[in-house]
Structure formats: structure tokens, C-alpha cells
Structure 1
Amino acid sequence: MTLEWEQTVVDARDPAALGRWWAEALGWSAVDDSPEEYEIRPGPERLPGLLFVRVPDPRTVKNRLHLDFRPDDQAAEVERLLALGARRADVGQGDEVTWVVLADPEGNEFCVLSSRRH
């Protein structure tokens, strides 16, 4: 049996707006921009993608799944994402961690890890 990871699905109040935000944040491209579903990928034929689907209810609790990103420069990337509209989030991580927890415009948490040491 062979499985290929196609996409991660993200519930959204406004799939197009959230999908465009993530496309800008990641430098990815839209491959489906219908009103009910908005999919982005690193390139048209590259996987996996993120698929944003419309749901009627707002997010009310901490995510049970979140994405982690490892940048070249953590501080610069955090500042860039905050300028795009992310906000800092507290999920109980404390002050002595090496990652930064942020939330996208709809409140979905994600982590910006420390830069990888070479």
C-alpha cells in the first residue's frame, strides 16, 4: 500500500481570505480559488497543499493539530508574519521555549521554530 500526502484541510470562516493570507506567508500559489474551497501549494504540481474549506462556526478552542515552520532567521520571520497580520498566541508554552507560537487571522495556532544550527 502506498499513501501520498495530498493536503491538510483547514476549517475557515472565510476560506479565500485565509488561503490568501497563508499563500502570502508561505510564498505558495493558489490552485483552487472557489468561494467554498481555497487550495494553495508550493507549486502547481507540488504536494502537500493546504485546503481551506468554509465552516459556519468560529474556532473556539486550541487547535488539536498545528503546523511548525523552521526559518533561516526566527526573529525576522516572526516580525514578517506579525506584519502580515499574525498575532502572538499563548497555548501554555511558558517563557523558556525556543519556538514562538503565533496565530493566523482566524486564530489557528502555528509555531515558528528556532533556526536550524548548521
Structure 2
Amino acid sequence: MALEWEQLNVDSADPVALGRWWAKALGWTVVNDSADEYEIRPEPDRLPGLLFAPVPEKKTVKNRLHLDFRPDDQQAEIDRLLALGARHSDVGQGEQPWVVLEDPEGNEFCVLGSRAG
């Protein structure tokens, strides 16, 4: 049996707005701009993607699953994401080499430090 990772689904109050934010944050391409299923991918034919779907309830607790990103320049990337509308987040991480941010709907993600060596 073989499995291919197609996409990660993200519940959202406003799938279009959140999908557009992530497309800009990642530099990804929009492959479906429907309000019911807004999907972005690194390139049109490249997987996995992020699929944003509407849900009526608001986010209430820390995400059980989150994305980690390793930039070339951690501080420059944090500054860029904050300028796009991300916010710092405290999920109890304490002092760590990574920084936890939230997207505009409060979904946590981490910006890791530079890869050693």
C-alpha cells in the first residue's frame, strides 16, 4: 500500500482571507479559490497543499498539529511575517531557539532557527 500526502486541512472562519494570507506568507500558488475550499500549493502540480475550509466555531485551544518552518534568516522572516499580520504566541514554550507565531485566525506555527553547519 502506498500513501501520498495530498494536503493539510485548516478549519477557518474565513477560508479565502486566511488562504490568501498563507499564500502570501509562503509564496505559494492558489489552486482553488472557492469560499468552501480555498487551496494553495508550492506550485500548481506540487504536493502537499493547504486546504482552508469554513467552520462555524472559533478556535478555542492550542493546535494539536502545527507547522514548523526553517528560514535562512530567522529574525528577517519573523519580521516579515509579523508585518503580514502574524502575532507572537505563548504556548508555554519558554526560552527556546524557535519562535511561536499565530496566523490571523490564531493558528500557531513555529519559525525555527537556522540549520547548524
Which TM-score band applies after superposition, normalised by the shorter structure?
Answer: over 0.9
Q: CA deviation at 1:35?
A: 1.1
**TM-score (normalizing by structure 1):** 0.98
TM-score (norm 2): 0.99
Unaligned runs of 5+ in 1: none
Instruction: Please provide the CA RMSD for this pair.
Output: 0.5
Question: CA offsets, 1:17-73, max 9 Å, x none?
Answer: 000000000000100000111000000000000000000111000000000000000
Identify the residue that residue 47 of structure 1 maps to in structure 2. 47
The runs of 4+ residues in structure 1 deviating greater than 3 Å are none
| Partner residue, 1:31 | 31
Distance 2:82 2:70 in 1: 16
Q: Distance in 1 between matches of 2:78 and 2:35?
A: 29
Structure 2, unmatched stretches of 5+, are none
Q: Tell me, yes or no, if structure 1 residue 101 matches structure 2 residue 103.
A: no
Distance (Å, rounded) in 2 between the aligned partners of 1:37 and 1:90: 30
Look up the SS of the partner of 1:35 in the other structure: coil
**Alignment length (residue pairs):** 117
Q: How does 1:34-113 map to 2 (within 5 A)?
A: 34-95=34-95, 97-113=96-112
Counterparts of 1:60 and 1:85, CA distance in 2: 20
Distance in 2 (CA, whole Å) between partners of 1:93 and 1:113 is 13
Secondary structure in 1 matching 2:65 = coil
Measured after TM superposition, the shift of residue 117 of structure 1 is 2.1
Q: Give the share of equivalent positions with the same residue, in percent.
A: 74
